[in-house]
Structure formats: structure tokens, C-alpha cells
A = this chain, B = another copy of it.
Amino acid sequence: MLKSEDLDRVFHALSDASRRAMVERLVRGPASVSTLAEPHAMTLSAVVQHLAVLESAGIVESQKVGRVRTFQLVPGALEPAGGWIGGQRLPAERRLDRLGAHLDADG
């Protein structure tokens, strides 16, 4: 079961633009720390810290082969956060959804 602290950590990890950019990069495939660092004007040590935040939130995982540590996204790791957001719809928005589904079914 997903604990509330897990969601805390995921949302916290996503609250930084650099970390979101690293996730966007990893969607395209696994990458080393130095590849992930390239677009960012920050020290490698700062990049490693951001990756540690993403890893402790369960969003990324890493493997070390020789001297190179490679990061990749954990499949489905963002789903509980996306699901929580998707659940917070106002009654009027839900009605619009149902209307849309109704029109789709007729079309």
C-alpha cells in the first residue's frame, strides 16, 4: 500500500525544475551522472544530490558498472502521484467529463 510519506517524497522530488528536467531526460532512456549533468549549470556534486532525492522518492534507480553509475526511471513510479491529482476534480469538472464521454459514445 502506498503510504502518505511516499507521496510526500514524490511531490517534494518534483518540486524542483532541475530534478524534473532529469526525469524528462530519463524518459528517453537510462543515462550516466555526467550525461544527466550536461544541460545543468551546477556542480556534479549538486547533480548527485538531486539524483539522490529522486532515488529516495523511488522515481529513479541506479546501477554501478565499473566506475560508471547509470540512472533509469522506475516504471510506474509517478502513477500514484498522477492518480492523486486526477482524483481531485471538482463536481463541475466531473460533470463535464461525463458529458464528454456521453458525446464520444454518441459520435
Contact = CB atoms under 8 A, between A and B. Distances in A.
Given A24-B88, A27-B89, A17 B7 contact: yes
Stoichiometry, as copies per complex, reads 2
Given A11-B11, A82-B86, A4 B17 contact: yes
Contact of A7 (B20, B23, B75): B20
Given A12-B15, A24-B88, 15 more contacts: A4-B17, A7-B14, A8-B15, A8-B17, A11-B12, A11-B15, A14-B81, A20-B84, A24-B87, A27-B88, A27-B89, A73-B90, A78-B85, A82-B85, A82-B86
Interface of A: 4-5, 7-9, 11-12, 14-17, 20, 23-24, 27, 29, 73, 75-76, 78, 81-82, 84-93
